[in-house]
């Protein structure tokens, strides 16, 4: 066990997986010489050399597109997108090829691509360094998506993604990259995709979240005078539907929290599942606490945009008082 | 129409630097490609005939409703066959829809390609079995794939190289730009083969770029560029061979602009009437690549009537067998919707499939 | 009134709006000389000249990106994306600029861009000519989205989009481009964004759809021995929430139909709204009939992928028998 | 480090075709730019001083926590001021984050730009008020905007042109490629001004492209290209003036590669220690553009101590007033989250805002 920041756990996972399997390559902008703008890839160039940790040209579609070809040559590329909003140029390759190529070969060829990026707001950064783009990835067939909230999960989920035969997108909450440390198993450590984590047990109301919003929900749970369950999904696709339905069955009250804009956000998918499969369990409406359907704002007012403890508490109370 | 002609005029291929080997049987003498003997010439010819036959039969099959929309490559056979024969079997090919049948030259069954155009999963193949990527539909998006594969082969220390086909219109896409630049920076052993048929559906080259020649883009990537007559299979072959050996020697990618003229509709669904100059098309058809090569082969005494008929008969036999086999394919099972989407499918797939079978009364 | 195919109504709207306002430009691949691969822009080049109906280079991000600049020069560009899946290269410009630029100027500058494209499956086309990409557009802040199902709405919604001060994406169901004709008002005709259309009144169950799925729902309604209401949303963003809630309140049973893959599809958003605002009205679970979470298949099996009358009927029955 | 130096070496600017006007006060004589008299020289100087002062003060303000992360442009003033003064007031400018303060040269209040870096909506401006687009953060995405604006101005028959700034790294993006090509094809009156400071954060030019010089990309778009010493404000000015008059005359876009060297961190958040060669940075700092121009102005007898001090004092005063005004801005109201997102906001916005105010106890 080591006591690591979330971003250090990412770095640890990359080092361990690159040692374990020499087909694993890390490619992206500034991942080599500087070790990444968040230092997530620090030390990899020196340890594994310029053929396995590659500073690419500044072109996100080129990064993901060449990763498809690298897979055809038997590699397992781990592509870093420098920031959430700078991953959008790669969406075309992601949607038209990364998510479809395996099907196109009748399952004969696999595309074990990992795309990882820091995501989310609250870091006082200039425009377009704050997006929560999970919907664009989750909606795309053939793509798996995971979002850790703790250092240990950051390592384990990334390792699982790198070993997964299918393309996986990992969104890393940059807001908690270096806030709290956490215990992280040394050496090989894998957290299987598709298993949610019960962050806190409770019986009155369930707060469902992922990434940086898990902390917000935990603080909201502290602030509520009720027995609150906090479900950290960890994996959005595949989703641990059983865990979601079990918690809904138990509490009958569910608050869904996401940073992303509301419309067609991931919370909508969760609500739809509940509306279809848990209707009779629900003792109150399913409410969403989300970012608003507006551009992510300049940072002087970003706190008002981000789902806050107060907003989550308010939503939970409305269900408890329903 | 005036506007269109104006466009046309400026899309007539500039002769600049246009490499040719085949003469005109008159004032322009025939050349030779070193190392390509009678056998090599006939291999090129067989491939061109097979492609031409595939294309002409496919247009007929489409009219008969036996295949769906089809992207015609009539007149592009010299580019495809000429470059193909510069490759070894373990070199990779990244085709666009325009080169859908290139796999036939590597033993991919005609039935497979025909099935693809029939929208049938029997059109699937394993790229690794033929070192042939899947047919790429979104313009230019295969270029970064080819760059990545070639980069990866260099990393593995293999002498394998890759070749990707794309059109003149494709050079306007960011994907082409990023892929070409990646290939250059990674010293990827790649041949960037631009099929400049001077049209992107109804958009003439003059509306696509102001570059005097597409080959001028090579300089911006710091890679060699060469411009050849795309109707001259030997010129294409020679240029590609040079590019391939440079790639194998660690010299990185080469951009080849093969200039031809699209003398057929873009696809079976397209009617060029409103936008293309019929006279210019006639000119192109009169000067089409297969006829030019046959003239050359005859002047060289390599081809005679019996041989030509035998080769064309073989090609037709291949297509007959191919369409028969494609049509003999049983209807695809709906489980194929789900089966290969993910190596590790979620539980929901099984549920969705069961549900679907119930609905379909299966 | 004229009796037009849906694609002819699109053409009519473009002609009328270009006549009405000379700042309206039509730009895209093959929109000029050939009049568009579906002939949606036929005749515009001859009528308005090469400065107002422009065959652009083959580059979707270039088309939408230059449209942003054209707006700054006071134009109202109408961008055609040749097919649904070929619009993905423009997502980066759409998300990072088209949806944000107005906010970035404090509302001082408007970006009246219309993006229109044929979308959807069932047309026996090769790969990537069949996608239903609405989620990528609907989820993006600053973007409005409308999807007509009838020739009249195709004209009216497109006219509304062109006149709208905000960016609007219009997805045109190519499956019904030339199937049935419909009565279309001549001359200027606008269908305001944000108003759903009650395609059929009923009291037992509501089928909610848009685009080509409206026809499927109408046929399903015919096949059901119940009083079926069919709601044609027409506008996804802004959504006519009142119409949705009113119908749900009336029937208490709602089936949501979309062609797009299920996860985070637009039906999820509708279900989430119902789970939050109509819980007590619901007499049965909210069910979704959607495309599957797989790549859109080759056309020999596409009918099995597309939501069918049988699937919609089955879903409605399950609610009626609940 | 060895690896890094290797990279460095090949990123030292190739002298090829590098245009210069300013001499070295020794063997290399000073030149002149036709039509730029004493007044013009001092205008250029004032602009450079204002930009330099803005930059140096901003780094201090950041350390003091008075602005957020900031992209330093120390050493880029010659490129920005030299090109700016080749424009008329109604010509449009499309800056990247690297040219965040270019608006000051057009009377945009320093407080506005400082507010932008403070993440405050007071950093908003109406592009039409200054013919200045918003600061563009996603690399190269402003290039198609500039192409579209310039194209539109041509359609309107105005003689206005546009200029867009982007970096060496930006030339790898598809957005640059598509924008440059659109500009060329549409004969858009646009100056494509590439700030080649030889680094994209930690990525050296040698890892960005294999082109011998970025200006070589111009040929591929069929447009003129020119390469200038980006540390020579007069060379930049002259080259831009030529490009602007060509644009106005209907000659379409020009690509200008202004070669400099990033002698400061990429941004306040960046530590170049691990990747950059301090000796090379020192060399660049010793040869920085403002000092070179001051030497020139003194040799020309145009600048003397009092004037220099007065100009610098004015610039500092501007910044003092600017930061004071920015800090005097009242906290932005949360209604601004919603207010300008759409011209016709949906009902949900009012509801969301009311809800938010309730939560915030307002
Ligand atoms: C990204 C993308 N945009 C648009 C299309 C539609 N489309 C199919 S072929 C074609 C023209 C391509 O022209 P070119 O690159 O010259 O190749 P050619 O067809 O002439 O061989 C277009 C626009 C597409 N397939 N992909
Ligand atoms: C699309 C996109 N990808 C990545 C980034 C992150 N990023 C910010 S600046 C930068 C380097 C840009 O280098 P260059 O184009 O040379 O401009 P310079 O900063 O040197 O002026 C990168 C990668 C971004 N802003 N946008
Ligand atoms: Mg072409
Ligand atoms: Mg740079």
> What is the mean pLDDT, run by run of 10 residues, along chain C of 322 residues?
98 98 98 97 98 98 98 98 98 98 98 98 97 98 98 98 98 97 98 98 98 98 98 98 98 98 98 98 98 98 98 98 95
**pLDDT recorded at residue A74:** 98
3-class SS of residue D317 = helix
Strand partners, A261: A291
The answer to whether residue B358 scores a pLDDT higher than 80 is: yes
Distance (Å) from CA D118 to ligand 2 centroid: 20
Q: In this predicted model, what pLDDT tens digit does every residue of C301-319 receive, in sequence order?
A: 999 999 999 999 999 999 9
Q: What share of chain D is helix, strand, coil (3-state, %, to 5)?
A: 50, 10, 40
Where residue B1 falls among pLDDT bands split at 50, 70, 90?
very low
Out of C71, C74, C101, the one facing D134 most closely (by C-beta) is C101
Inform me whether the C-beta atom of residue A34 falls under 8 Å from chain D C-beta atoms.
Answer: yes
Atom of ligand 1 nearest to the CA of B200: 13
Inform me whether the C-beta atom of residue A301 falls under 8 Å from chain D C-beta atoms.
Answer: yes
B177 is catalytic: no
- Among the residue ranges A305-314, B12-21, C187-196, the one predicted with the least confidence is B12-21
Q: In this predicted model, what pLDDT tens digit does every residue of C225-245 receive, in sequence order?
A: 999 999 999 999 999 999 999
Q: Report, as an integer, the average pLDDT of B161-190.
A: 98
Give the closest ligand to the alpha carbon of residue B200.
1
CA distance B211 to B230: 18
Inform me whether the C-beta atom of residue C198 falls under 8 Å from chain A C-beta atoms.
Answer: no
The answer to whether residue D4 scores a pLDDT higher than 80 is: no
Distance (Å) from CA D167 to ligand 2 centroid: 8
Distance (Å) from CA C221 to ligand 1 centroid: 40
**pLDDT recorded at residue B4:** 33
Q: In this predicted model, what pLDDT tens digit does every residue of B180-209 receive, in sequence order?
A: 999 999 999 999 999 999 999 999 999 999
The owner of tokens 């042109």 is: D161
**pLDDT recorded at residue D160:** 97
Out of C91, C279, C288, the one facing A91 most closely (by C-beta) is C91
Query: Using CA positions, which residue lies closest to atom 3 of ligand 2?
Result: A86
What protein residues have CB closer than 5 angstroms to ion ligand 3?
B 167-168, 197, 199-200
Q: In this predicted model, what pLDDT tens digit does every residue of D245-285 receive, in sequence order?
A: 999 999 999 999 999 999 999 999 999 999 999 999 999 99
Residue B342 near residue B331 (C-beta atoms within 8 A) = no
Inform me whether the C-beta atom of residue C283 falls under 8 Å from chain A C-beta atoms.
Answer: no
* Token pair of B332 as six digits: 């695809």
Inform me whether the C-beta atom of residue A161 falls under 8 Å from chain B C-beta atoms.
Answer: no
Q: In this predicted model, what pLDDT tens digit does every residue of D72-105 receive, in sequence order?
A: 999 999 999 999 999 999 999 999 999 999 999 9
Interface B-D, measured as beta-carbon pairs within 8 A, has a size of: 74
**pLDDT recorded at residue D2:** 32
Concatenating the DSSP letter of every residue in D211-260 gives -SSGGGHHHHHT--EEEEETT-HHHHHHHHHHHHHHHHTT---EEEEEE-
The answer to whether residue B332 scores a pLDDT higher than 80 is: yes
Out of D173, D209, D219, the one facing B216 most closely (by C-beta) is D219
CA distance D110 to D325: 9
Q: Is B299 exposed, middle or buried (0-12, 13-18, 19+ CB in 10 A)?
A: middle
* Token pair of C48 as six digits: 């308005």
Out of B203, B207, B338, the one facing C292 most closely (by C-beta) is B338
Does D168 sit in the ligand 2 pocket, CB within 6 Å?
yes
Q: Report, as an integer, the average pLDDT of B332-349.
A: 96
The answer to whether residue A321 scores a pLDDT higher than 90 is: yes
- The string over A30-65, giving b where at least 16 C-beta atoms fall within 10 Å of a residue's C-beta and e elsewhere, is bbbbbbbbbbbbbebbeebeeebbbbbbbbbbbbbb
Does D69 sit in the ligand 2 pocket, CB within 6 Å?
no
**pLDDT recorded at residue C73:** 98
Q: In this predicted model, what pLDDT tens digit does every residue of A179-215 receive, in sequence order?
A: 989 999 999 999 999 999 999 999 999 999 999 999 9
B266 is catalytic: yes
The owner of tokens 């009528």 is: C47
Where residue A220 falls among pLDDT bands split at 50, 70, 90?
very high
Interface A-B, measured as beta-carbon pairs within 8 A, has a size of: 140
* Substitution site in B142, B169, B230 for ligand 1 pocket (most atoms within 8 Å of beta carbon): B169
Mean pLDDT of chain B: 95
CA distance B116 to B61: 13
**pLDDT recorded at residue C108:** 98
**pLDDT recorded at residue D9:** 33
Pocket of ligand 1 (CB under 6 A): B 98, 137-139, 167-170, 195, 197, 199-201, 262, 266; C 29, 58, 82, 86, 89
Q: In this predicted model, what pLDDT tens digit does every residue of A225-265 receive, in sequence order?
A: 999 999 999 999 999 999 999 999 999 999 999 999 999 99
**pLDDT recorded at residue D14:** 56
The answer to whether residue D11 scores a pLDDT higher than 50 is: no
Q: Write phi, then psi, for D266 (nearest 5 degrees).
A: -55, -45
The answer to whether residue A64 scores a pLDDT higher than 60 is: yes
**pLDDT recorded at residue A177:** 98
**pLDDT recorded at residue B362:** 81
CA distance C66 to B261: 30
Inform me whether the C-beta atom of residue B124 falls under 8 Å from chain A C-beta atoms.
Answer: yes
* Substitution site in D138, D166, D169 for ligand 2 pocket (most atoms within 8 Å of beta carbon): D169
Query: Using CA positions, which residue lies closest to atom 7 of ligand 2?
Result: D139
The answer to whether residue D159 scores a pLDDT higher than 70 is: yes
CB contact under 8 A, C264 and A261: no
The owner of tokens 């999960």 is: A153
Atom of ligand 1 nearest to the CA of B73: 21
Out of B4, B120, B169, the one facing C58 most closely (by C-beta) is B169
**Cα D7 off chain centre by:** 25
Where residue B2 falls among pLDDT bands split at 50, 70, 90?
very low
Nearest to A113 by CA among A101, A100, A98, A103: A98
CA distance A298 to D61: 18
Which residues in chain A (115-154) have CB-CB distances under 8 A to chain D?
A: 124-129
3-class SS of residue A288 = strand
Q: In this predicted model, what pLDDT tens digit does every residue of A114-157 receive, in sequence order?
A: 999 999 999 999 999 999 999 999 999 999 999 999 999 999 99
* Residue among C129, C163, C215, C237 flagged as catalytic: C129
Does D102 sit in the ligand 2 pocket, CB within 6 Å?
no
Where would I find the beta strands (DSSP E) of chain A? 2-4, 24-28, 53-55, 76-80, 114-119, 144-146, 168-173, 182-184, 197-200, 205-209, 228-232, 235-237, 254-261, 287-291
Residues of A in contact with B129 (CB under 8 A): 108
CB contact under 8 A, C92 and A88: yes
Residues of A in contact with D96 (CB under 8 A): none
C-alpha pair distances (Å), C161 with each of C77, C132, C166, C195, D12: 11, 19, 8, 13, 52
CB contact under 8 A, A33 and D275: yes
The answer to whether residue B8 scores a pLDDT higher than 80 is: no
Q: How far apart are the CA of A56 and the nearest CA of chain D, in angstroms?
A: 7
Where residue D15 falls among pLDDT bands split at 50, 70, 90?
confident
Where residue B6 falls among pLDDT bands split at 50, 70, 90?
very low
CA distance A268 to B288: 58
The answer to whether residue A274 scores a pLDDT higher than 80 is: yes
Give helix D233-248 / helix D289-299 axis angle, nearest 10°.
90
Residue B163 near residue B87 (C-beta atoms within 8 A) = yes
The answer to whether residue B16 scores a pLDDT higher than 70 is: yes
């Amino acid at each position: 066990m080591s006591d690591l920041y979330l971003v250090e756990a990412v770095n640890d996972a990359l080092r361990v997986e690159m040692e374990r399997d020499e087909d694993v390559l890390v490619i992206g902008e500034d991942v080599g010489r500087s070790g990444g703008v968040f230092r997530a890839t620090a030390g990899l160039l020196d340890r594994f050399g310029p053929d396995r940790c590659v500073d690419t040209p500044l072109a996100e579609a080129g990064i993901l597109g060449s990763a498809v070809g690298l897979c055809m040559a038997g590699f397992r590329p781990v592509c870093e997108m420098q920031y959430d909003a700078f991953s959008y140029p790669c969406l075309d390759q992601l949607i038209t090829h990364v998510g479809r190529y395996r099907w196109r070969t009748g399952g004969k060829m696999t595309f074990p691509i990992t795309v990882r990026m820091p995501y989310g707001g609250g870091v006082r950064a200039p425009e377009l360094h704050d997006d929560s783009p999970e919907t664009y990835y989750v909606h795309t067939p053939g793509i798996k998506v995971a979002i850790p909230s703790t250092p240990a999960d950051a390592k384990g989920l990334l390792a699982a993604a790198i070993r997964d035969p299918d393309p996986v997108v990992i969104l890393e909450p940059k807001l908690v990259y270096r806030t709290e440390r956490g215990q992280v198993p040394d050496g090989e450590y894998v957290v299987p995709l598709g298993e949610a984590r019960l962050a806190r047990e409770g019986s009155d109301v369930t707060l469902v979240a992922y990434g940086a919003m898990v902390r917000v929900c935990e603080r909201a749970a502290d602030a509520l005078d009720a027995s609150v369950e906090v479900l950290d999904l960890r994996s959005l696709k595949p989703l641990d539907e059983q865990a979601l339905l079990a918690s809904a069955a138990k509490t009958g009250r569910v608050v869904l929290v996401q940073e992303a804009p509301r419309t067609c956000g991931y919370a909508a998918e969760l609500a739809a599942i509940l509306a279809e499969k848990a209707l009779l369990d629900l003792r109150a409406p399913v409410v969403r606490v989300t970012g608003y359907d507006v551009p992510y704002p300049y940072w002087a007012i970003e706190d008002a945009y981000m789902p806050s403890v107060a907003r989550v508490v308010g939503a939970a109370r409305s269900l408890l008082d329903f | 129409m005036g506007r269109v002609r104006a466009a046309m005029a400026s899309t007539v291929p500039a002769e600049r630097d246009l490499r040719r080997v085949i003469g005109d049987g008159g004032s322009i003498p025939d050349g030779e490609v070193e190392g390509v003997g009678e056998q090599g010439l006939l291999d090129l010819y067989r491939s061109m005939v097979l492609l031409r036959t595939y294309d002409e039969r496919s247009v007929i099959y489409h009219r008969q409703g036996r295949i769906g929309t089809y992207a015609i490559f009539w007149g592009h056979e010299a580019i495809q066959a000429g470059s193909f024969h510069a490759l070894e079997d373990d070199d990779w090919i990244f085709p666009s829809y325009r080169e859908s049948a290139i796999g036939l030259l590597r033993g991919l069954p005609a039935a497979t390609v025909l099935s693809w155009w029939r929208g049938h999963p029997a059109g699937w193949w394993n790229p690794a079995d033929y070192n042939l990527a899947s047919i790429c539909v979104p313009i230019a998006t295969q270029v970064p794939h080819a760059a990545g594969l070639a980069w990866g082969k260099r990393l593995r220390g293999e002498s394998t190289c890759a070749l990707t086909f794309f059109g003149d219109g494709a050079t306007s896409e960011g994907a082409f730009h990023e892929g070409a630049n990646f290939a250059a920076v990674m010293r990827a052993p790649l041949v960037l083969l631009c099929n400049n048929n001077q049209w992107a559906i109804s958009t003439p080259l003059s509306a696509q770029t102001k570059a005097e020649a597409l080959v001028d883009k090579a300089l911006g990537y710091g890679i060699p560029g060469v411009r050849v007559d795309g109707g001259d299979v030997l010129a294409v072959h020679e240029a590609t061979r040079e590019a391939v050996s440079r790639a194998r020697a660690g010299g990185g990618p080469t951009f080849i602009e093969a200039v031809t003229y699209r003398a057929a509709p873009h696809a079976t669904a397209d009617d060029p009437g409103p936008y293309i100059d019929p006279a210019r098309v006639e000119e192109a058809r009169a000067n089409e690549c297969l006829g030019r090569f046959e003239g050359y082969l005859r002047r060289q005494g390599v081809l005679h009537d019996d041989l030509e008929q035998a080769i064309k008969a073989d090609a037709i036999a291949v297509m007959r067998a191919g369409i028969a086999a494609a049509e003999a394919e049983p209807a695809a099972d709906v489980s194929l919707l789900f089966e290969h989407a993910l190596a590790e499918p979620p539980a929901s797939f099984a549920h969705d499939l069961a549900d679907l079978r119930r609905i379909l009364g299966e």
